[in-house]
Structure formats: structure tokens, C-alpha cells
Amino acid sequence: MQLARTLETLRKTVATLKSDGGTLALVPTMGALHEGHMALVARAHEVADHVAASIFVNPTQFGEGEDLDAYPRPEAEDCAKLDAAGCDLLWMPLPSEVYPQGFSTTVRVEGVSGGLCGDARPGHFDGVATVVAKLFNQVMPDVALFGEKDYQQLAVIRRMACDLDFSLDIVGVPTVREADGLALSSRNAYLSDDQRQRAAALPKALSEAADTIIAGGDVGVTLDTAIAKLEAAGFTPVDYVELRDADSLVPVTRLERPARLLAAARIGRTRLIDNIAVVPV
């Protein structure tokens, strides 16, 4: 695996990789890699000839008081995992390669960036869209892969890629979960043993609510019940539990076409997110 830390090295390495006429996939990450990330790399090998990953803990998507400094950065382990997974290139830019002196541009995707995590983390999706636009222009992949775990992020990136005419495919990859249903996340490392046990209430509440809604249960009542279950498990505050259209992310009060049930809640100092498909039968 080639490691690039400057744009000059990146461009040379990408040109060499693509010189055989093969396609290139990009898996953007913030590192602290787990099996969820590795599922994106595995899928990338299926959809492209060459695979690049990026690791960059992007400061502009963290709000004030969030965990930018505490975010785990196990660089050597991450490199070893990507190498073992057959990654051809790791783009691990120096911050000055992403945000050089005088950087003044923001990419804002209206609509899908609003509500849900957009309300709880003001400016977060501006930071995500801006850095992902930069990563696309830097690596110039033919396809980029993102996890459904960050469902609103995936919708924001799809909208941005379409609106800004990025000439690449966006592939969403299903959420990889622990045996008790908890979605793998780098932030799970912050959980104490007790919090980790309680955290399984999040996927459980979503799955029970999805079943109730599919069976014809009232959406408002069902969402309130899910919130109460999360609070009983020790989540506080529950930022949201909402049913949205699966494509547009517009709020849904009746299940008439494929929808997505999304939630975010804090347990101790850790904010967890999750979502599940809710499809009418």
C-alpha cells in the first residue's frame, strides 16, 4: 500500500494506479478503523479495480465542545488494517494540504442537511460536504463508498455529488453491527462497560418501532414509545427519533413508501446514532 501525505505524492500515486486503465474507488474515513470501515473496503474491491482509503479527522465538521481532540487516532493500526485488506493507496493528508492558509470556501447542501443531526450539530454537514468535495477533487475516484450508519451524511453527499456534477458513483453500504445489534462506531470506544450494555437499547428500540409501524401502528405514538424506551435505558438527552422518507429525508407521518427510522441519543458523554429501513409490506 502506498501512503500519500502531500497532494504532490497523491497525484503521482493516483496517476500510476490509473495508468492501467482500471477504475479507482475511494473510502473516506476519519480513522480508528473497525469492521464497519473494512466492509466499505471489501465492497470497494467489488466495484472497482483499485482501492484508496483516506484518513482525516476533519476539524470543520466538529462543533465547539465536541470531541475533536479526544477523537481516537491509532495511525499505525489503521495503516496495518488497510494494508492487510489490500488497499492500494492511503491518503492521510497533513491538515495544511486540506485547509491551507487563506482557505475560505464552504460547500453547503440545503434541505437534507437540515433537521436530525443537522439541528443537533449546527454546521456539521457543511464541514462534511466541504471536506468530501475536496477529497473527491484530490483523489478523483470513479466511485466513493459511504456507510448507511451515517444515513443523513450519505443523503447529503449524494445530493452534493449530483448538484456539483461530480463524475463518480456513490455507493451506500449496509451498517455492520455487533452481536447485540449495536452499530459499530469509532465512538463506541468511549463507552464504559455499563454504558456499552445499555447502548444495545438503541437498535432494539428502532427495530421494535419499525415492526410496529410496518404492522400499522400510529407513527407519532410509536416514536414517543421508542424515546421513552431509550430514556429508560439511560440515554439522555434523546436528540431525535424520527421517521423520514428513505430518499428525500422529508418527514413521514404515514408509511406509504420506503422510509427510514433515524435516531440519535447521548449515553454519558457519547452521542450515538443509528437508523433502520421501514418498508411497507
Ligand X SMILES: Nc1ncnc2c1ncn2[C@@H]1O[C@H](COP(=O)(O)OP(=O)(O)OP(=O)(O)O)[C@@H](O)[C@H]1O
Which of 3, 7, 184, 277 touches ligand X (CB under 6 A)?
A: 184
Which of these is catalytic: 37, 45, 50, 124? 37
Site for ligand BAL in 94-153 (CB under 6 A): 150, 153
Residue pair 171/14 in contact (Cβ under 8 Å)? The answer is no
Between 128 and 243, name the residue whose CB sits nearer to ligand PAF: 128
- What is the radius of gyration, based on Cα positions, of the chain? 19
- Judged by CB under 6 A, does residue 241 bind ligand PAF? no
For residue 163, report the phi and psi dihedrals to the nearest 5 degrees: -65, -35
Integer Cα distance of 104 and 188 in angstroms: 33
Between 171 and 219, name the residue whose CB sits nearer to ligand X: 171
- Judged by CB under 6 A, does residue 58 bind ligand PAF? yes
Asked whether the CA dihedral 46, 248, 276, 132 is positive or negative, the reply is positive
Determine if residue 97 is labeled as part of a ligand binding site: no
Amino acid at 249: L
Residues in the chain, total: 281
**From residue 66, how far is each of 60, 161, 236 by CA, in Å?**
11, 27, 16
Q: Which stretch binds ligand PAF (CB under 6 A): 40-48, 110-118, 124-132, 168-176?
A: 124-132
Site residues (vs ligand PAF, CB under 6 A): 28-30, 58, 61, 128, 131-132, 150, 153
Site residues (vs ligand X, CB under 6 A): 29-30, 36-37, 39-40, 146-147, 149-150, 173, 175-176, 183-187
